Amino acid sequence: MLDGKRILLIVGGGIAAYKALELVRQLRERGAAVRVVLTEGGSHFVTPLSFAVLSGEKAFTDLFDLKDEAEIGHIQLSREADLVVVAPATANLLAKMANGLANDLASTVLMATDKSVLVAPAMNVRMWEHPATSRNIAVLRADGVRFVGPEEGDMACGEFGPGRMSEPSEIIDAIERVLPSAHGVSLKGRHVLITSGPTHEPIDPVRYIANRSSGKQGHALALAAKDLGARVTLISGPTHLPDIPGVTTVKVETAADMLDAALAALPADVAICAAAVADWRVAHQAEEKLKKAEGQTALNLALSRNPDILATLAAPSASRPTLVIGFAAETETIITHAQAKLSRKGADWIVANDVSPGTGIMGGGHTEVHLVSGTGVEDWPAMGKDEMATKLLARAAEALHAMQLAAE
Ligand code: CTP
């Protein structure tokens, strides 16, 4: 159910715009309030009046309608939504979103929003397969935009292939996945602290020790926590990922800085340690760039143990987060290692996954995890990292809720 959820639907200029009418009808049937913004192209395919009748609210089309702007500005339009859905999202609209163009109401609202955005692309197969579209999609995915479809099939232009907009029921399923609070779980009023990415441990002013963590999992967790209504602090080692609007991102380099930032961000209700923290740092960091000597054939670097952020956060203290969650990337005897890690570090849950070469999990978009806690092990099916993040945060919300009830 989507009771009480507010959806801002942006309708682009494609023949699939007619399906957006049915989408509005089905959304309202599930209890959502829908407000519609049409691009100029969109209003050539379906009239704003049709959307106004089905949504029960005025449908907006023109950025420069001063009367509309006085009644409800473009910033307010996106602020009042729980989720922004773009359906159909044309190649042009995706290109504008990827490049930050804001020259009409629809694109301005998309630039001004800090809410999650779900897009349902619809276009000719050649346009979908064009390298420019692929580039734009990659940029938008990195920005945290969610996608549903397109589907493969016969197209209005007589061609066959991917490019057909997903059916309204599939778009609604995707909306419910993005808005898990649609199922009644929420992290409103909670603070979620997430560590993410690699750490860089300096050797000298220009060199460092690092690892290949991309930070994608931590970003997905931050986005999922934000979607559930939490205040989110993401403490991130160096990554190439863009900041997430609405998430406080603290950028750090070393494990020691990450620990300081994590402690400074307390109190938190949930702490999730997804960072690939370097276990070791260089014991004596050189103040000047190290020079090799004539004939030198080896260099020994003495290393010191880094603090364990997960274990520090999980240690009993007045500021211990209610739920402390760690990750374990293993290549053999996964569950046994994860259970040992759970008790060694004092965490409440460990999300364990098999990162053996061949699973494609390390650096890939999918994952297959086991949720290990003091009460048992749950095997989750293979799923996207985004979906896993949503499921984990929903579980965290449920656990906090249950603990609160038990304490009352
Ligand atoms: N972690 C941390 N601080 C560290 C090291 C690890 O917070 N200095 C956290 C990670 O974010 C992750 C979990 O601990 O949640 C990983 O545990 P760890 O035992 O360090 O993983 P591995 O390095 O894979 O350990 P192992 O030595 O067992 O291979």
Q: Which residue has the higher pLDDT, 303 or 112?
A: 303
CA distance 336 to 111: 47
User: Pairing state of beta strands 201-204 and 280-282?
Assistant: unpaired
Q: What is the pLDDT of residues 102-136, one digit of tens each?
A: 999 999 999 988 888 999 999 999 999 999 999 99
Residues 82 and 53: beta-carbon distance below 8 Å: no
Q: Which residues pair with 172 in a beta bridge?
A: none
- Is there an atom of ligand 1 within 6 Å of 309 CB? yes
Q: What is the pLDDT of residues 336-390, one digit of tens each?
A: 999 999 999 999 999 999 888 777 766 667 888 999 999 899 999 988 888 899 9
- Asked if domains 6-182 and 185-407 share a fold, the reply is yes
At 245 the three-state DSSP class reads coil
Instruction: Taking residues 248-269, report their average pLDDT.
Output: 98
Indicate the CATH number of 185-407 among 3.90.550.10, 3.40.630.70, 3.40.50.10300, 3.30.930.10.
3.40.50.10300
Percent of the chain topping pLDDT 70 = 94
Tokens of 36: 């519609």
147 to 78, 84, 244: CA distances (angstroms): 19, 12, 17
Please tell me the distance between residue 328's alpha carbon and the centre of ligand 1 in angstroms.
7
Ligand 1 pocket test target in 201, 259, 273, 349 with most atoms within 8 Å of CB:
273
Ligand 1 pocket test target in 345, 350, 355, 369 with most atoms within 8 Å of CB:
345
- Can you give the pLDDT at residue 75? 76
- Can you give the pLDDT at residue 32? 94
Q: What is the pLDDT of residues 127-160, one digit of tens each?
A: 999 999 999 999 998 888 989 999 988 777 777 8
CATH number of 6-182: 3.40.50.1950
Task: Look at the pTM and tell me if it is higher than 0.85.
Answer: no
- Can you give the pLDDT at residue 159? 77
CA distance 356 to 333: 11
Sorted by where each begins, the domain ranges of the chain are 6-182, 185-407
- Can you give the pLDDT at residue 208? 97
